[in-house]
Amino acid sequence: MTLSGIRPRPDQVAELTRGLTLPLPEVSTDHLEVIAEGLLRAFGDIRIQSPTTVASGSEAEVTALMETRLNTLIEEDPFWGQLVLCVARGKESLSFNGAHLEKRPDLSIYLSNRNRGFPLVTEAKIIDAASSKTEALYCENGIRRFVDGEYGWGSREAFMIAYVRDGSSIETKLSPFLSKAIVKTPPEYLIEGLPTPVGGAKSNLAHSRHGRSFTYDGGVSAGLEPGPISVWHLWLS
């Protein structure tokens, strides 16, 4: 999109949010944990079926496999199929004020009990220090997009997946990085809560809380603040 084409479009936001008050109600923690389990299961399956791609392929290649596997699980797993309608990769979406019409989050998870205009947004990043894909890039090109209202702006939660290739973990890399960021003035990435582990040792799963630096533009929520967003981090190795 050209610079001249970047302008707020409250009519686009108003149409998308017709009849809705934002942000939408929270997705339950139980459902978010089930989604994390589904993502973990899908990754385990593609790691067995396509080990070379998972180990050395591009982010897009791995995510494309994840999309296909997650949609297949809808047919194979009745419980997953009750919760998830479909999963789409690179689905075009609006930024919070409609200035960008073609934002493409890596995965959009459409939940059966959720408004179709606001899927659960999931961003994916490779973590591999040898190729300069670090936790700093993960935060700058991932978390920041939620803070700035590019992604997930109508919701109270989002997911980030890391495809880890260098042995990193949330505890050894992400938490220390965000611990340094939170003491800045103002806190970088508007951190309100550092990563809190979820579940047991089966998965590297945690969630952090971040403020958001925008107000809604268009619809009945125009001028209102979105409040914080909970970002669920699932690091897959």
pLDDT > 70 fraction of the chain, expressed in percent and rounded? 96
What is the reported pLDDT for 1?
47
- Looking at residue 5, its pLDDT comes to 67
Cβ distance 103 to 91 under 8 Å? no
pTM for the full predicted model: 0.95
pLDDT, average across residues 180-206: 90
Three-state SS for the chain is CCHHHCCCCHHHHHHHCCCCCCCCCCCCHHHHHHHHHHHHHHHHHHHHHCHHHHHHCCHHHHHHHHHHHHHHHHHHCHHHHHHEEEEEECCCECCCCCCCCCECCCEEEEECCCCCCCCEEEEEEEEEHHHCECHHHHHHHHHHHHHCCCCCCCCCEEEEEEEECCCCCHHHHHHHHHHHHHCCCCCHHHEEEEEEECCCCCCEEEEEEECCCCCCCCCCCCCCCCCCEEEEEEEEC
- Tell how far CA 119 is from the center of its chain: 10
State CA 182 to chain mean position distance. Answer: 20
Say if CB 125 and CB 166 are below 8 A apart.
no
- Give the pLDDT of residue 112: 94
* Residue 103 contacts residue 151 (beta carbons within 8 Å): yes
- The pLDDT score that the predictor gives to residue 219 is 82
pLDDT of the residue at 202: 56
Reported as a single tens digit per residue, the pLDDT across 8-24 is: 899 999 999 999 999 99
pLDDT in tens, 90-128: 999 999 999 999 999 999 999 998 999 999 999 999 999
